[in-house]
Amino acid sequence: MPLSARFWKTYAVLALLGLLLLAAPNLIWWLSASPSERAWLLARYPFLLVLIVLVLGGIYALWLHVYQTHVRPIDQLTDAIHQVLDGHTLPPLPQASTRELRKLQEAVTELARRHRLHSTTPAAAPLHRERNLLATLLGELPEAVLVCRTSGQILLYNETARRLLETPEHPGAIGLGRSIFHSLDRDLIVFALDELAYRLRQQHPRPTVHFATCLPSGQLVRVQAAPIRDEADRLETFMLLLQPLRSEAEPFEIIRGADLLQALDLQLREAGVSLQLEGVTGTLWLRVRLPEAFEALRRLAFQLHQETSCTQLLARTTSENGRVHLWLRPLDGHPQALERLQPYVQEPSLQALLQEHQATLQLDGEALRLTLPASPPPHSGAARAFLPGPSAARRPIYADLSLLETSEATPLDDRPLRSLIYTVFDTETTGLHPEQGDEIIAIGAVRIVGGRIRPEETFDQLVNPRRPISLDSVRVHGIQPVLLQDKPPIEEVLPRFYRFARDTMLVGHNVAFDLKFIRQKEKALGLHFDQPVLDTMLLAAVVDPERQHYGLDELAAAFGIEPVGRHSALGDALITAELLLRLLPLLEQRGIHTLRQAREAIQQSRPARNRYGRIS
């Protein structure tokens, strides 16, 4: 078993003291001895060497026994206490070799029991009731609810928001600590914050903002933004309520022309018609009745497609004198057939809608021109200082307001490990050698936010490797080739995992193996996983350098983690996530609090030196 540097340093001191005790009387005797007595002693120097070796060996054996029966068990009990204080279950304790250690173990076990009882006392019941009430209220709301920082970081969302904003192509689009800009355009949030800041300065009695937009899925939604002010009356967080547009008549809403055309483009694609945009920017705002106005625009575009047999349409917008002009022109087919739309343009229902909007619709050469009033954001720029640069199962409600405790201005390397957002992942593969053609067949991941595993924010996908799987690999993970035949290839899955994991730290166990497979695909797919990476195997070596093996099974057993789902990608990711949370208090106990300190400690760990070389 490898022994720590502390063991060898202590042994060196004990050995030196033992040699000094052995040498002192002999030195005194040497100084007072006659020449014949000194010669007699020198003639027996082999016996002296054997004596020295026996003394050093005896000191080593005695110190090793004391270390293994007293020092190391006490260290393990200390780590177990820190595990309990951090809210984890008591890990398996080492077998006591003395009566004193056995009594100490009994005290630790009783401490863990009382701590568990204390954490579930009636005093905590009101807090649990309030949280359950809040979860029930938000879970029953038909609207999607999100609370975000002005930088876009999500602090809370409910299940309706997750269902509305996530799609199979964009799993994990929202999540605690993620950016709302992955789901809603940044300019929209800027507009909302500008309006909120202006209304707060004007002391408006209801400082809320209403607008409509188009989600990446093509769905039009109504959005309400409301400020959440802090103790200093500053706008640092805000709430968003999102609701799909209903079919019944709705009041006028402001919406960007770009969002209307984006929704139209997605509708036309289903009919095999492509929409090319020209001059369409996010600064053109309209005030229209939704969804009637969009339905009329959609019918107009489909009528244009049917009458002219076009498969490509050009949408061009201009703005002048407070009016927005939208041209729809067929790029192929029979543009001369445009006159056939005249009866449709003259329909009473359409004319009534145009009149209600103070708009006009007319034929203009080989194009249709729709003109209506513009509605520019009146208070743009009022809140720009709030935003960073562009780089920057029971009625569940997902919230972590502890994210507010860490300033986003703090460099990543200097942030506490507990404040970081982690994506803990694992892969299953056809074999061990990606350079020889082995492929990923499963990716599983879970997020850790605020020091807690978020089982509602997971990624779990099988992958079609398009190659045979070795029998040895099947024996390990149990994934039969027939299960992968209808699954998407890695070219589809890895970009989805990339979107799931961005803005977070990557964590894995023996993660260099998983990264080797991912790096093989990055260049071809135009991806680059450039976030920092932590390896729980190396962190365990920092915490316990004397351990012989750092396999996931051995560490799970040592920390009392139940290995549910072992050798499945998501199962191993969940075990690794639990292991990371068990390691964090032990790292802090050893003075390792920030990401920078953890990375420096990893560089000095024995596995990093022996197997990995330098870890970047």
Beta strands, E only, 450-532: 452-462, 505-508
The string of DSSP codes covering 71-117 is IHHHHHHHHHHHHHHTTPPPPPPPPP-SHHHHHHHHHHHHHHHHHHH
d(CA 510, CA 194): 47
* Contacts with 480 (C-beta within 8 Å, 6 or more apart), sequence order: 474
Which residue in 176, 174, 155, 156 sits closest to 404, CA to CA? 155
* Ramachandran category for residue 526: left, alpha or beta (phi over 0 → left; psi -120 to 50 → alpha): left
Measured from the Cβ of residue 291, the count of other Cβ atoms closer than 10 Å reads 21
* Ramachandran category for residue 90: left, alpha or beta (phi over 0 → left; psi -120 to 50 → alpha): beta
Burial of 475 (0-12, 13-18, 19+ CB in 10 A): exposed
The string of DSSP codes covering 523-540 is HHHT----S-EEEHHHHH
Which residue in 214, 194, 193 sits closest to 262, CA to CA? 214
Active site residue 509: no
Helix (H) or strand (E) holding 15, with range, is helix 5-32
Token readout for 121 is 């006392």
Integer angstrom CA distances of residue 494 from 162, 488, 501, 584: 21, 10, 10, 29
β partners of residue 398: 157
Of 70, 170, 325, 567, catalytic:
567
DSSP 8-class letter at 377:
-
Integer angstrom CA distances of residue 591 from 204, 542, 601: 50, 11, 10
Which residue in 600, 611, 506, 493 sits closest to 550, CA to CA? 611
Note the Cα 502 to chain centre separation in Å: 7
DSSP 8-class letter at 611:
I
The residues assigned a catalytic role are 567
